């Protein structure tokens, strides 16, 4: 039984609480009891195969979709009953859009920004355009933007109201590596400077590993893994792979105590040890192991 | 807060109108419709039926019918397309964005419909001498009917646009329905020669009254003889149109809200996939 003090503390720091969330489309049950919480300032990446219910989960949290069952609070409010003041505290970037083709970049961003002014202080227009790398495109029509530029504008619109909580559904689809790195910098800045809580989905495991404080893997209608990228990797594969060569001959060894093993290696061979390489399990290994385990079951 | 969104909606409407007037396709369609109406007026300019100028009879009715078409189809088409391309979802994701969105649609469609009517009306003044005698009260009356016509059709366009599962069916059904009502509205074919039950049906719907009201506003008293009761029934016209407008404005917000609530990214995605299958 948690004390009242603990409960109040949780309310203050938990931005999202999901308990036993269920969602059915007709007879098909997509979410079968999802549980997780997100604390203020955390960056959470939601992973899972196509059709696992990632978008459905995010849409329920955004208040865009009614759930079939379970308890959900977002910023202390049930999203099914969220009002406009609540909405003003959220930022939303959904999957690919192709709207407002006739509008100019700066024109649209200024228009949507204005909706937030009664509630909070939105970002400065020029600063934001510069931050997403669209400063020189402010006068460009949306229909003339490339896929990646459009996605960057989506992100700019999503964060223009300086949200406390930002939802991003596959934000970097169609980004080139450079745009991707800029985007990661932007998210780091939001998270560090503005204390924005971020919940995003992606198919890019490398990106997930770079950005996430915590990763949730959604599969078969439930959360099958929840933890930091490191913790998840250790959970699945404790062993690291050690590769080395001695006198041109190559060796591989798997061990759960790399430090002791390598110390032994040097004690035995000294300077003869070459090409030393230690590879810990990556998020990709973890992900594949988790999701495949689900498939086999 | 809500008035802030209303103001933003008005400004958004002006921006969208500006965009529309720069779009070659939209300009072409507006001019095409106005042009074809003007051709009709041009050929009728000297024709008379029982001493009454045919062009003078047709013009006010055509102009108001144009408003009804624009009001209804503009709203149906706009909503259907923008549900699919994500505009509506974007509006939903900002505080009171839907209020701004709907107000902007009303502004855009009203302004473009009124522009269309002016494009028909102004050149016609030079062709139809029977209209020379129309004074300021007559033109104000016509303007009033046009506004009433917009009020009576816009919310219903929103209702149909919200219910339609895809743009094509929504636009198709409303076009068909409106064409049917226009056919029995007495604008193209004298209502006095139609069977009695059809006359009753016609008088339930806005198109007949839009035409009637416009004629009453700008035509001399003598023209009333060609009407159903042989007299202008302005009070009936205002009453029927106002009832349609009131019912529409009562129903539309709820229907719009319901539709907007159901709109989400994945619903949009599914609809787009179905659309791709239709095309492919």
How does pLDDT run across B78-98, given as a tens digit for each residue? 888 888 888 988 999 999 999
State phi, psi for B46 to the nearest 5 degrees.
-105, -5
Q: Which residues contact B144 (CB under 8 A, 6 or more apart)?
A: B217
Q: Which residues of A touch B14 (CB under 8 A)?
A: none
Question: In whole angstroms, what is the distance from residue B110 CA to residue B128 CA?
Answer: 26
- pLDDT given for residue A236 in this prediction: 67
Is residue B280 very low, low, confident or very high in pLDDT (cuts 50, 70, 90)? very low
Q: Which residues contact A267 (CB under 8 A, 6 or more apart)?
A: none
Instruction: Please check whether residue B93 touches A, CB under 8 A.
Output: yes
Model-level pTM greater than 0.80?
A: yes
Q: How many domains does chain B have?
A: 1
Residue B96 is nearest to which of A65, A84, A98, comparing CB atoms? Answer: A84
| Percent of residues, chain B, with pLDDT higher than 70 | 96
Burial class (CB in 10 A: 0-12, 13-18, 19+), B131: buried
Interface A-B: count of C-beta contacts within 8 A: 85
Q: Which residues of B touch A51 (CB under 8 A)?
A: none
**Closest A-chain CA to B264:** A64
CB contact under 8 A, A157 and B265: no
Instruction: Please check whether residue B96 touches A, CB under 8 A.
Output: yes
E strand or H helix that includes residue B115: helix B97-127
Q: Which residues contact A124 (CB under 8 A, 6 or more apart)?
A: none
Question: In whole angstroms, what is the distance from residue A253 CA to residue B183 CA?
Answer: 86
- pLDDT given for residue A3 in this prediction: 66
Q: Does residue B139 surpass a pLDDT of 60?
A: yes
Residues of chain A scoring pLDDT < 50 = 296-297
Pairing of strands A43-47, A197-201: parallel
Out of A105-119, A144-158, B181-195, B237-251, which region has the weakest mean confidence (pLDDT)? B181-195
ipTM over 0.90: no
Q: Which residues of A touch B12 (CB under 8 A)?
A: 111
Q: In 3-state terms, what secondary structure has residue A294?
A: helix
CB contact under 8 A, B94 and A116: yes
Complete edge-to-edge strand list for the sheet that includes strand A222-227: A90-93, A165-169, A197-201, A43-47, A214-219, A222-227
Domain with B83 in it: 2-279
CB contact under 8 A, A99 and B82: yes
Stronger pLDDT, A105 or B230, i.e. the higher one: A105
Q: Which residues of A touch B96 (CB under 8 A)?
A: 84, 115
Calculate mean pLDDT across residues B198-210.
91
Question: In whole angstroms, what is the distance from residue A37 CA to residue A15 CA?
Answer: 8
Most B-contacting residue of A60, A84, A104, A153 (CB-CB within 10 A), to test interface: A84
Q: Which residues of B touch A102 (CB under 8 A)?
A: 16, 19-20, 22-23
Task: Output the CA torsion sign for A148, A151, A153, A156.
Answer: negative
Is residue B183 very low, low, confident or very high in pLDDT (cuts 50, 70, 90)? confident
In degrees, to the nearest 5, what angle opens at C-alpha A173 toward C-alphas A227 and B96?
Answer: 85
CB contact under 8 A, A87 and B95: yes
- pLDDT given for residue B276 in this prediction: 65
Nearest to B64 by CA among B150, B139, B129: B150
Mark A28-48 as b/e (b = at least 16 C-beta within 10 Å): eebbeebebbbbebbbbbbbb
Is residue B45 very low, low, confident or very high in pLDDT (cuts 50, 70, 90)? confident
The DSSP bridge partners found for residue A217 are: A47, A225
- pLDDT given for residue B171 in this prediction: 81
Q: Does residue B279 surpass a pLDDT of 70?
A: no
- pLDDT given for residue A198 in this prediction: 97
CB contact under 8 A, A100 and B87: yes
Q: Would you say A184 and A211 are in contact if contact means Cβ atoms under 8 Å apart?
A: yes
E strand or H helix that includes residue A92: strand A90-93
Q: Which residues of A touch B16 (CB under 8 A)?
A: 102
The DSSP bridge partners found for residue B49 are: B52
- pLDDT given for residue A297 in this prediction: 47
Residue A115 is nearest to which of B16, B96, B264, comparing CB atoms? Answer: B96
Nearest CA of chain B to the CA of A284: how many Å?
27
Q: Which residues of A touch B263 (CB under 8 A)?
A: 64
Q: Would you say A70 and A53 are in contact if contact means Cβ atoms under 8 Å apart?
A: no
- pLDDT given for residue A5 in this prediction: 67
Q: Would you say A149 and A176 are in contact if contact means Cβ atoms under 8 Å apart?
A: no
């Amino acid at each position: 039984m948690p004390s009242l003090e603990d409960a109040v503390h949780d309310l203050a720091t938990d931005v999202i609480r999901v308990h036993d969330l269920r969602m059915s489309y007709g007879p098909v049950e997509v979410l079968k009891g999802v549980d997780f919480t997100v604390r203020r300032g955390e960056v959470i990446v939601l992973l899972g195969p196509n059709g696992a219910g990632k978008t459905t989960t995010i849409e329920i949290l955004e208040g865009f979709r009614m759930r079939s069952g379970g308890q959900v609070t977002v910023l202390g409010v049930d999203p099914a009953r969220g009002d406009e003041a609540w909405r003003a505290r959220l930022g939303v970037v959904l999957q690919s859009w192709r709207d407002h083709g006739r509008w100019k970049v700066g024109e649209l961003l200024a228009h949507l920004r204005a909706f937030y002014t009664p509630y909070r202080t939105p970002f400065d227009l020029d600063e934001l355009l510069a931050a997403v790398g669209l400063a020189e495109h402010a006068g460009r029509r949306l229909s003339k933007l490339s896929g990646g530029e459009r996605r960057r504008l989506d992100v700019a619109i999503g964060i223009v109201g300086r949200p406390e909580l930002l939802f991003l559904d596959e934000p970097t689809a169609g980004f080139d590596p450079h745009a991707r790195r800029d985007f990661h910098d932007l998210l780091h800045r939001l998270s560090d400077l503005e204390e924005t809580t971020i919940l995003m989905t992606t198919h890019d495991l490398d990106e997930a590993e770079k950005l996430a404080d915590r990763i949730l893997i959604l599969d078969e209608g439930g959360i099958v893994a929840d933890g930091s990228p490191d913790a998840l990797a250790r959970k699945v594969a404790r062993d690291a792979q050690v590769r080395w060569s001695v006198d041109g001959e190559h060796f591989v060894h798997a061990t759960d105590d790399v430090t002791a093993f390598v110390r032994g290696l040097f004690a035995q061979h000294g300077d003869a040890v070459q090409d030393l390489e230690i590879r810990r399990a990556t998020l990709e290994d973890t992900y594949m192991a988790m999701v495949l385990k689900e498939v086999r079951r | 807060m809500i008035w802030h969104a209303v103001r933003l909606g008005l400004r958004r409407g002006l921006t969208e109108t500006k965009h529309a007037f720069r779009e070659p396709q939209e300009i072409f369609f507006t001019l095409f419709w106005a042009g074809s109406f003007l051709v009709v007026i041009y050929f009728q300019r000297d024709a008379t039926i029982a001493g009454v100028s045919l062009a003078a009879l047709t013009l006010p009715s055509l102009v108001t019918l144009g408003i009804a078409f624009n009001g209804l189809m503009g709203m149906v088409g706009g909503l259907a397309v923008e549900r699919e391309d994500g505009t509506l979802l974007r509006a939903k994701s900002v505080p009171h964005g839907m209020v701004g969105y709907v107000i902007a649609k009303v502004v855009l469609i009203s302004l473009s419909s009124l522009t269309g009517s002016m494009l028909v009306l102004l050149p016609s003044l030079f062709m139809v001498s029977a209209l020379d005698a129309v004074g300021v009260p007559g033109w104000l009356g016509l303007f009033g009917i046009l506004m009433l016509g917009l009020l009576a059709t816009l919310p219903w366009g929103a209702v149909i646009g919200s219910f339609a599962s895809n743009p094509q069916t929504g636009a198709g059904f409303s076009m068909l329905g409106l064409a049917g009502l226009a056919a029995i509205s007495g604008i193209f074919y004298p209502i006095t020669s139609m069977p009695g039950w059809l006359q009753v049906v016609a008088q339930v719907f806005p198109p007949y009254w839009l035409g009637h009201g416009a004629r009453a506003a700008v035509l001399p008293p003598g023209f009333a003889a060609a009407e159903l009761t042989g007299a202008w029934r302005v009070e009936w016209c205002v009453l029927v149109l106002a009832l349609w407008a009131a019912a529409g404005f009562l129903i539309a917000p709820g229907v719009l809200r319901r539709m907007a609530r159901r709109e989400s990214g994945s619903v949009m995605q599914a609809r787009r996939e179905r659309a791709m299958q239709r095309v492919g």
